[in-house]
Each structure stands twice: as C-alpha cells, then as structure tokens.
Amino acid sequence: MNSSNVWNGILKQQHQKKLGLKPCACVLPNQGFFLIINQLISFRIQTVLRAIKQTQVSVDKVRFSIEDRLLQSQSLTQKVCRNFAKG
C-alpha cells in the first residue's frame, strides 16, 4: 500500500467521523449475483407484459361483444320502426 492510499483512507475516516458515520466493511456481491438479479427482473417484466397482452385481448373480446349487441339492437329497432310505420 502506498502512502497516498493510506492518506486518502485517513482523510476518508476523518470525514466520516465529522458526518457521524461509522465505517462499515461492506462486501459487494459478485457479478454472478447481479446477473441472477437481472435475469429475475427480466423474467418478471416478461410475465407482466404477457399479462398486459392477455388483458388487452380480453378487453377486445368484450368490446367486440358489446359492439355486436349494439348493432343487433339497432337493427331490431329499425325493423320494429319500419313495421310500425307500415302499420
């Protein structure tokens, strides 16, 4: 370890004491950990996108059903009006 690293370490410790921080010895996980987390997040995003697509399909089916019923109702109303007018 060279003297500049030691000096930087001392300055960092003094700065942490001024801020009231306790030094911690944290060990960061290795890259494999981050790869697994990224894969899990990617899988979750894909699952949510699939659910959204399925919901859109369901909404479209209901919308088409409502539109079909409305058209049938309009057609029936027109027929009834024609028959009533012929009277």
Instruction: Tell me the pTM.
Output: 0.51
CB 16 within 8 Å of CB 22: yes
Nearest to 29 by CA among 16, 38, 42, 20: 38
Q: What is the pLDDT along the chain (87 residues), one digit of tens a residue?
A: 456 666 666 666 666 666 665 655 555 567 777 788 888 999 999 999 999 999 999 999 999 999 999 999 999 999 998 888 886
According to the model, what pLDDT value does residue 12 have? Answer: 67
Nearest to 15 by CA among 25, 23, 3, 24: 23
CA atoms within 13 A on the CB side of 13: 7
According to the model, what pLDDT value does residue 70 have? Answer: 96
Q: Which helix (H) or strand (E) holds 41?
A: helix 31-86
